[in-house]
Amino acid sequence: MANDRLSEIEACVLALVSVDGPATPYAIRKVFLNSPSQQWSGSAGTIYPLIERLLREQLIRSKLCLTGKRRGYQISLTPAGSRALSLWFSLPIPEWVAGVPPDPLRTRIRFLSAISANQRRAFLQNAHQRTQAHLRVVEADCARKRAKGGLPYLMARGALLSMQSRCAFLREVADALDVRVKVDLRLAKNERTAT
């Protein structure tokens, strides 16, 4: 890879193949599409060119396989891909990974004084409703992974704690601005026990 550095999504694809074993490009794409995280794009325009790039860089190899009546390709790591993945873990974590993550919602909160009280109320109600809906998706994902435990569960648990924190933050903002937001009491109880 250029500068021997993988992008986060390139490293994630290599790690998926390393941890889960050989997979078709479509199966890898489905992992991203099914993720409750909006950070990753599972679009065909992102995943398939990325896989082509990893093939050109000889970090993965492709092998023809039959899936039922369909022909497809399974990709697996090459020794160079394993080394690149190992290097990704051994490099110091960048500040943008270790620090406060970018948060467009938090950015919008900073500028709420630029709009009317009615607009602020509508914004906060919408933001809280949307984050609670996403929290329910993340809760379900975490519950599915809890039984198996391990690292996938811990990753889901981290997402759950993050979403609970976002909902609590939005309620604090609403309280500070004297805006009433509808709160799902079950979710609010879970947020309090997690923080």
Q: Is the pTM of this model over 0.75?
A: no
Residue closest to 172 by CA, chosen among 154, 156, 145, 195: 195
Residues contacting 15, CB < 8 A, separation 6+: 85
Residues contacting 100, CB < 8 A, separation 6+: none
- Residue 43 pLDDT: 78
Residue closest to 124 by CA, chosen among 189, 175, 161, 159: 175
SS3 label, residue 102: coil
pLDDT tens column, 87-102: 999 988 888 888 888 8
pLDDT tens column, 141-170: 999 999 998 998 999 999 999 999 999 999
pLDDT tens column, 7-61: 888 999 999 999 988 999 989 999 888 887 777 777 778 889 999 999 999 999 9
SS3 label, residue 193: helix
Residues contacting 81, CB < 8 A, separation 6+: 14, 17, 18, 54, 58, 59, 60
